[in-house]
Amino acid sequence: MNQIVENQFVELIKIHQGIVHKVCGMYRRDHDDRKDLFQEIVIQLWKAFPKFRHEAKVSTWIYQISLNVAISDFRKESRKPIRVELSETITNISDNQYDYSIEEKLAVLYQAIDQLSEIEKAIIMLYFEEKNNEEIAEIIGISQNNVRVKMTRIREKLRTLMANTK
């Protein structure tokens, strides 16, 4: 019986590992940090697996746990002192006269996303995953109306942050 459960879990992770990788990528930029976060999420999924009742979609359950672990990890890491290397500081300096390429616009977008709160990051990530308001509400645990309001505010915040970066 235990081997069957373990095989089911491994298969579930294989199928849905993309979700976990996306969450890790949103909350951690360093490759080793992403790997550590991935491991921690899988451990928490394994611990929660026996309690999973299939009332929600598997992907929703994985998103919920992944985001909770990532946000907890992010909060724990944000309490540590920040060390910024000079090269990173230099890449953050922008020239208003410069015509941004698509890659540079994406870099500016990701810099802006990095400045969002944990919950805002989670919502925008799910939005980029083309989840509808109902799915986002279920995963995050807020009402659909609250999702709409937050998305409007997030879009405006991103516009402002990106405009200030250019």
Whole-number Cα distances in Å, 83 to 31, 60, 138: 17, 35, 36
| End-of-domain residue from the set 34, 52, 83 | 83
14-61 confidence digits (pLDDT tens): 999 999 999 998 888 888 999 999 999 999 999 999 888 888 889 989
Whether residues 90 and 72 share a domain: the answer is no
Q: Report the CATH number at residue 23.
A: 1.10.1740.10
Q: Which of 24, 57, 83 represents a domain boundary (last residue)?
A: 83
Give the Cα separation of 30 and 36 in Å (integer).
10
For residue 100, give its domain range: 84-166
How many CA atoms does the CB half-sphere of 34 hold within 13 Å?
15
pLDDT digits (tens, 9 = 90+) for 56-114: 889 989 999 999 899 888 777 766 554 444 344 444 444 444 444 777 777 888 888 98
| Domain final residue, candidates 53, 83, 113 | 83
Q: Please, how many CA atoms are within 13 Å of residue 135, restricted to the half-sphere of its CB?
A: 17
Distance of CA 125 to the CA centre of its chain: 6
